[in-house]
Amino acid sequence: MNKENTVKIKFYNGETIPLELHKARVVQKLNLVPVERRLEALHEGGFNTFRLTTQDVFLDMLTDSGTNAMSDRQLAAMMHADDAYAGSQSFFRLQQAVEEVLKKKYFLPVHQGRAAENVLAKAYITKNAGLIPMNYHFTTALAHITQYGGRIVELLYDEAYCIASAHPFKGNMHIEKLEAVIREHGRETIPFIRMEASTNLIGGQPFSVQNLREVRQIADRYGLRVVLDASLLGENAWLVIRREPEFANATMAEVIAEITGLSDIVYFSARKLSSSRGGGICTNDLTIYRELEALIPLFEGFLTYGGMSVREIEAMAVGLYETLDETMICQSPQFIAWLVDSLTAKGVPMVTPPGVLGAHVDAMTMCAHIPQTQYPAGALAAAFYLISGVRGMERGSVSSQRDASGNETYADMELLRLAVPRRVFTLSQLKYVEDRLVWLHENRRLIGGLKFVYEPPVLRFFMGGLAPVSDWPEQLIAKFKADFGDSL
Ligand code: F0G
């Protein structure tokens, strides 16, 4: 296990395993249904793990969105929520948390992260001035930008595309390319530069503060705004403390303030950032606030709730403060690092260094026999659910969108993401994940491809339906039964 990810508690036996700094006080019973039922469930859900129901799922590693464990303090806060359409005290508590944690005084609430993306795209993107340079896209950010006639350009360094790497900051923006893009297209065609904390789709990889400073310098040189997607800011900051020597002795509060201080607009999914629901946009610039303000009542709700319930608003306020607690924020990245390191040691191709949000399996390598036209990451997600009951998420070409002419745009990476929501799973559950994935890796040739049978035009990965191209699921089950006998 990477030293950087271990807590400062030594085991006498020398083992380096993550140690939980919390206790479970509310628990939920799980089901592990037999493999035959899992095959039926896959057929019913179009071989798309989004369409499985939790009754058929053992460990839900689909996402951390809205599934991080809440703290006792968050639950307690929900009880003193102030119900009011306008002027709720819950809102003012949240506004204060935003000001104290993210250091921005103007706050616009929205119902979740993509709602913030919609508001920003609606306010700033036009056909003629809609080019958004970014470190990398996120599915919903891209969908909203293109919806309003804009387009994106992704500016990562080459190292970011290397699956196995030791680079500490694969989410860094390529500074020279950023300047070249601005010069080539003209600053007037660029409404803002988007930086995503812990770049989701390339394996939850952070950017460094130094890199953001350089982005800021370029932005200032050309008079451009920097928009920060802070949905995974807590973990990005935690990794900055571990990986960027200048910040080795900094606190979470200091790193977060440094990062948000370099950004003109900060938006986030509170489903991730604060282990709650909801989302928000904040800024210190009154002009920006005014440009966006009118869109909140139009799309979200009145300015003191933005589509959220007051209970969610209370949980979000407390969750924002808890983001500053290293003993909370460290749990998920430490468990991810444990899983990535153990699987890598056993030959399973994983994205390294371990990032945040989840462990990412490289389906392009593991399923090299499946062409990208048959969605190797989607096939791996379905196969892994079949043999384990564990639900991961496809992050590859199924999650990509077709271009304007309707052609497939194949993803740079074909990943199976196994999310590790904060403080939800135990180490023995992760050992089960490791065990079944090692078995699947040894039997990977039995996994076959998928084809679309129902393809929605927008964000197809959510509700799309696929089918296996052969009877490979039955063959995989036969091998599973031969090796595991009656075991579930
Ligand atoms: N930005 C990032 C970086 C995200 O990871 C997400 C959501 C969003 C924006 C959109 O926020 O879901 O609240 O509307 N990511 C989830 C995931 C869905 O599973 O990675 P939302």
pLDDT in tens, 207-239: 999 999 999 999 999 999 999 999 999 999 999
For residue 110, how far is its CA from the centre of ligand 1 (angstroms)? 13
Separation of CA 47 and ligand 1 centre (Å): 22
Indicate whether 204 and 107 sit together in one domain.
Answer: yes
- 164: domain CATH number is 3.40.640.10
How many residues comprise the chain? Answer: 488
Quote the CA–CA distance of 386 and 373 in Å, as a whole number: 22
> What is the structure's pLDDT at 4?
52
Percentages of the chain per state (helix, strand, coil), in multiples of 5 = 45, 15, 40
Give the HSE-up count for residue 439: Cα atoms under 13 Å, Cβ half-sphere.
20
The CATH number of residue 25's host domain is: 3.90.1150.10
Residues 86 and 216 in one domain: yes
The model's pTM is 0.96
Residue 124 host element (H or E): helix 113-124
380 and 318 part of one domain: no
- Check if 279 has its Cβ closer than 6 Å to any atom of ligand 1: yes
Mean pLDDT score across all residues of the chain: 96
248 and 235 fall within a common domain:
yes
Arithmetic mean of pLDDT, 282-292: 98
Claim to verify: residue 134 and residue 7 sit in the same structural domain: no
What's the domain range around 435? 3-64+328-484
Cα separation, 81 vs 206, in Å, equals 35
pLDDT tens-digit readout, 84-96: 999 999 999 999 9
Q: How far from 66 is each of 93, 129, 356, 482, CA to CA, in Å?
A: 21, 34, 16, 38
CB contact at 8 A, 339 and 430? yes
Per-residue pLDDT band at 458 (split at 50, 70, 90)? confident
Mutate to test the pocket of ligand 1, among 64, 135, 140, 416 (most ligand atoms within 8 A of CB): 140
Q: Whose CA is nearest to atom 4 of ligand 1?
A: 231
Nearest residue to 462 via CA among 52, 137, 43, 61: 52
DSSP designation for 99? I
Which residue has its alpha carbon closest to ligand 1 atom 19? 63
Model pLDDT for residues 178-216, shown as the tens digit of each residue:
999 999 999 999 999 999 999 999 999 999 999 999 999
Backbone phi, then psi, for 67, in 5-degree steps?
Answer: -120, 0
CA distance 221 to 27: 53
Question: Where are any strands of DSSP class E within 197-324?
Answer: 226-229, 265-269, 279-283
How many Cβ atoms are within 10 Å of 149's Cβ, its own excluded? Answer: 13
Res 353: pLDDT? 98
Share of the chain above pLDDT 70, in %: 99
How many domains does the chain divide into? 2
Shared domain for 291 and 143, answered yes or no, is yes
Q: Does the beta carbon of 271 sit less than 6 angstroms from any atom of ligand 1?
A: yes
Asked which of 288, 323, 358 is the last residue of a domain, the reply is 323
Choose which residue among 272, 393, 394, 461 to substitute to test ligand 1 binding: the one with the highest number of ligand atoms within 8 A of its C-beta: 272
Are the beta carbons of 71 and 293 closer than 8 angstroms? no
pLDDT of residue 7: 56
pLDDT exceeds cutoff 60 at 1: no
Distance 412 CA to ligand 1 centre (A): 19
Nearest-atom number in ligand 1 for the CA of 196 is: 3
Q: Which two tokens stand for residue 195?
A: 């930086």
